[in-house]
Structure 1
Amino acid sequence: MDNNKRFKAVFFDLGGTLRIALKDEPYMKHARRKMAEIAGTDMPYEEFFQMIEDRYEPYRKWALSEFKESGDEELWCKWLLPDYDPVRIKQVCHELSYQYRQTKGRRVVVDGGVEVIQGLHERGYKLGIISNLIGETEVPDWLEEDGLDKYFDSVILSSVCHLRKPGFEIYQLCANEMGVELAECVSVADNVKRDIPGAKKAGVGCNIIFESPEKKHAVEFTEETRPDAVIRDFREILDLLPPLN
């Protein structure tokens, strides 16, 4: 990492970076049951959940290939539950997205995450979130409930802007909202294939890869995916970014 450069803003990825999914089977089972209840299906909840999983694969393939993301209404009415009452599904689509994500784990802020957010804010950095995920309401609700929304100048979610990483346009959206140049920004993320190429193409000034506790194997870098720094403890970000004043 070039310590001679002067950065003004930091983008955080969410899944596997700022937030970690813990495998909590009772919690995940409750979410599977809740999904079936919300949708009003007559199917056993585990069977219903497996149907959603099967239907999600074509959607995911489309999203990954096109660098696009559907909003909640389109996701559930077009892709996942097109054979259900559209009036009902439109009413419950946000809650369906939320519960579907909870079937993958109970999400918590990474160890040291709040300390880093508060520390960077106190040091004068503008903070943003850029995340690929389904669900339009979960992240704003979480930020407000945890009292973290006041620290972020921009929150860009693929489910809201309908763009995905590794496309570079999503970085431009965040920088524009924050009022900074991309060369003045630092990106903190965990997925080299998803998070590095688009950020480099966009012109992000510095890329930090966090070796997430969710990762089960070592990461190998190529010229296209090589970051400027690698950290293993989230608090190391504070060692890399000095106060602006």
Structure 2
Amino acid sequence: MVPDIQTIFFDVGNTLRIVVKDQAFIDKAEADLMELIHTTESHDALFAKLEERWKAYRKMSKTTLLDASEGELWTQYMLPDYEPNMIFANAPRLTRLWRDHDGRRVARPDAVATLRELKKRGYTLGIIANTVTETEIPDWMAADKVADCFKVTILSSKVRLRKPDPAIYHLACRCIGTPEANCAYVGDNPVRDVEGTQAAGFGMMIRIDEPDTLNMEKATGKEFTPDHVITALSELLDIFPART
């Protein structure tokens, strides 16, 4: 039986948006971060330390399926050796600069048009994303004028829960008012996104084939099969016809 999908939730990183390597952008982000914390450490020493601590934090969060707030991330995990009040006050900016040191994040070319068409076809849209920043996704939604497309935005840094914990999916369904069986999820991670969606009892899971994600995803011994695999967001329009 084909599920009656009423609501479509989206991941954001490598699903709705991708990272574009822009060295000038990266260099400025790193310089701004160093200036913000008034560091006396060299560039290489500071960022080597931050990378090591970031990997340790990520390992912990993936094990516990819990995310820290931005203030906790920077005062407890990333820069505990710096003056805590200064770091806490600048935590949101530090998170954005840390994210920017990976590159410039931009929407996929067909993202905005696809979101608008799905809304026009009668679907309720939402976001469920693992993210350490509380402002980046809302700012993008405003900049690309798609904020009106989404009824609910669930960010792990705000609610503390992380995918694939089914609890974050259940929370999103309660907030948006749609039973899990009538929800679909679109994400890029072949393990985390598929596992969490299916464990939560969603009616459908669509994975977008993203090479960067597949290159980073280590083999876990787990295999999860999505309902659909797409290579472009516009292919969702073939899966979700207009609702009557």
What is the TM-score of this pair, normalised by structure 1? Answer: 0.93
Q: Which moved more, 1:148-157 or 1:206-215?
A: 206-215
Report the alpha carbon displacement of residue 164 of structure 1 after superposing the two structures with TM: 0.8
Match 1:140 to one of 114, 135, 138: 138
Q: Which amino acid aligns with 1:134?
A: V
Question: Residues of 2 paired with 1:205 and 1:81: CA distance?
Answer: 42
Residue of structure 2 equivalent to 1:61:
59
Answer yes or no: is the 8 Å Cα contact 2:189–2:214 preserved in 1: no
Residue of structure 1 equivalent to 2:68:
70
Match 1:211 to one of 205, 209, 212: 209
Residue of structure 2 equivalent to 1:230:
229
Q: Which moved more, 1:134-143 or 1:69-78?
A: 134-143
Report the alpha carbon displacement of residue 136 of structure 1 after superposing the two structures with TM: 1.1
Q: Which amino acid aligns with 2:93?
A: E
Residue of structure 1 equivalent to 2:164:
166
Answer yes or no: is the 8 Å Cα contact 2:3–2:204 preserved in 1: no
Secondary structure in 1 matching 2:233: coil
Residue of structure 1 equivalent to 2:239:
240
Question: Residues of 2 paired with 1:175 and 1:121: CA distance?
Answer: 17
- CA shift digits 1:26-76 (9 cap, x unpaired): 111211111111112112233322221111122111101011111100000
Residue of structure 1 equivalent to 2:47:
49
Secondary structure in 1 matching 2:3: coil
- CA shift digits 1:167-220 (9 cap, x unpaired): 111111111111100110110011111101111110010000111253466x99
Residue of structure 2 equivalent to 1:107:
105
Aligned residue pair count = 242
Residue of structure 1 equivalent to 2:87:
89
- CA shift digits 1:136-186 (9 cap, x unpaired): 111112212222111101111111111111111111111111110011011
Residue of structure 2 equivalent to 1:8:
6
Answer yes or no: is the 8 Å Cα contact 1:32–1:46 preserved in 2: no
Report the alpha carbon displacement of residue 124 of structure 1 after superposing the two structures with TM: 1.0
Q: Which amino acid aligns with 2:151?
A: D
Question: Residues of 2 paired with 1:40 and 1:83: CA distance?
Answer: 13
Q: Which amino acid aligns with 1:195?
A: D
Match 1:29 to one of 27, 43, 52: 27
**Residue 17 (structure 1) aligned with residue 8 (structure 2):** no
Answer yes or no: is the 8 Å Cα contact 2:30–2:101 preserved in 1: yes
Residue of structure 2 equivalent to 1:121:
119
Going from structure 1 to structure 2, the CA distance change for 1:215 and 1:54 (only over 3 Å counts) comes to closer
Secondary structure in 2 matching 1:108: strand
Answer yes or no: is the 8 Å Cα contact 1:36–1:49 preserved in 2: no
Q: Tell me how large the CA RMSD over aligned residues is.
A: 1.9
Question: Residues of 2 paired with 1:11 and 1:204: CA distance?
Answer: 10
Tell me the percent identity: 36
Question: Residues of 1 paired with 2:226 and 2:11: CA distance?
Answer: 14
